[in-house]
Amino acid sequence: MFLNIIELAQSLGVEESEVEGWIRKDGLPHVTDRGRLLFDRTQVVSWAESHGLAAKVGFLAPERSPAHGGKKLETMLRTGGIWRDVPAANVLNLFADIVTRLPGATPPVRQMLQQRLRQPNGISWALVGDGLALPHLRTPIALGRDAGIFAIVLLRDPLVINEPVPDDQPVTRLLFFIAPSPRGHLEMLAQLSTALLRGKLRQPVNDGAPDAEIFAAIAAAENPGQQEGAA
CATH code at 36? 1.10.1660.10
227 pLDDT above the threshold of 50: no
pLDDT mean over 96-104: 93
Question: Picking from 31-40, 41-50, 193-202, which range would have the lowest pLDDT averaged per residue?
Answer: 41-50
148 found inside a domain: yes
pLDDT at 13: 66
> What burial class does residue 65 get, using C-beta atoms within 10 Å of its C-beta: 0-12 exposed, 13-18 middle, 19+ buried?
exposed
- Total domains in the chain come to 2
pLDDT mean over 2-21: 80
Asked whether residue 224 falls in the same domain as residue 185, the answer is yes
Alpha carbon of residue 131 to chain centroid: 15
pLDDT at 229: 44
67 pLDDT above the threshold of 60: no
pLDDT tens figures, 127-153: 888 999 999 988 777 787 778 999 999
Asked whether residue 51 falls in the same domain as residue 81, the answer is no
Percent of the chain with pLDDT over 90: 37
Asked whether residue 111 falls in the same domain as residue 37, the answer is no
pLDDT tens figures, 18-44: 889 999 988 999 888 778 888 887 788
64 pLDDT above the threshold of 80: no
Asked whether residue 106 falls in the same domain as residue 187, the answer is yes
Asked whether residue 81 falls in the same domain as residue 56, the answer is no
pLDDT mean over 36-63: 69
**Mean per-residue pLDDT of the chain:** 83
pLDDT tens figures, 109-120: 889 899 999 998
| Structural domain span for residue 115 | 73-230
Quote the strand ranges of the chain, DSSP E: 2-4, 31-33, 36-40, 82-86, 123-124, 127-129, 132-133, 136-137, 149-159, 171-178
pLDDT at 224: 60
Question: For residues 62 and 186, what is the distance between their CA atoms, to the nearest angstrom?
Answer: 12
Asked whether residue 197 falls in the same domain as residue 137, the answer is yes
